[in-house]
Amino acid sequence: MSETHYITLRVCITGRVQGVCYRAWTEEQATALGLNGWVRNHHDGSVEAIFSGLERRVEDMITACYQGPPSAQVDGVERHAFSEEVAPGFHTMPTV
């Protein structure tokens, strides 16, 4: 993994990831890693996030998503390529 290569990935997290502060935890962790992007709930009970930044930091964030906050029970984390523009900063978006 490169320390200077930037990547952007879309991640879908399933399991008991709503009602356990998963979005707030994700925003806190991603901000601490200096990532750009957003996180939001889906009506199907999953959480979706966009992580953009240095490759190693994005990979560290995705690894952390498998654990999540203390009350979460993560069943799966899917990663997908994402090529759209990502605004600076990390934000929580409305549920879709």
Two tokens, residue 50: 């966009």
61 secondary structure, DSSP code:
H
Q: Is 23 a catalytic residue?
A: yes
User: For 92, left (φ over 0), alpha (ψ -120 to 50), or beta?
Assistant: beta
Question: What gap in Å lies between CA 96 and CA 94, rounded to an integer?
Answer: 6
Of these residues, 16, 40, 41, 56, which one is catalytic?
41
Other CB atoms within 10 Å distance of the CB of residue 10: 17
**Active-site residue, selected from the candidate residues 16, 23, 56, 79:** 23
| Active-site residue flag, 41 | yes
Measured CA to CA, the distance from residue 96 to residue 77 in angstroms comes to 18
| Enzyme catalytic residues | 23, 41
